[in-house]
């Protein structure tokens, strides 16, 4: 006799998979925003270094 896969477990795995996908999108969003913040910080740092070098050369 073939035992059918219980629908409760099927629904549970579906919910877990949806949760994992939402979590992955959240992690991607956090990574993208942190990369943007890192880029802005590096840009400010480069601007400060440029100003420092110009003052030293003059």
Q: How big is the chain by its Cα radius of gyration, in Å?
A: 25
Distance CA 31, CA 39 (A): 12
Q: For the full predicted model, state whether its pTM sits above 0.85.
A: no
Q: What is the mean pLDDT of the chain?
A: 80
Go through the chain and tell me how many residues it has.
58
Q: Residue 14: is its pLDDT beyond 60?
A: yes
Residue 33: pLDDT band (50, 70, 90) is confident
Domain boundaries, the chain: 6-58
3-class secondary structure per residue, the chain? CCCCCCHHHHHHHHHHHHHHHHHHHHHHHHHHHHHHHHHHHHHHHHHHHHHHHHHHHC
What average pLDDT score do residues 43-47 get?
Answer: 89
pLDDT above 90 for 35: no
pLDDT for 47 equals: 87
């Amino acid at each position: 006799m073939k035992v059918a896969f219980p629908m409760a477990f099927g629904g549970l795995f579906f919910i877990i998979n949806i949760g994992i996908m939402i979590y992955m999108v959240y992690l991607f969003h956090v990574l993208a925003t942190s990369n943007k913040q890192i880029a802005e910080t590096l840009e400010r740092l480069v601007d400060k270094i440029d100003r420092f070098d110009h003052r030293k050369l003059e």
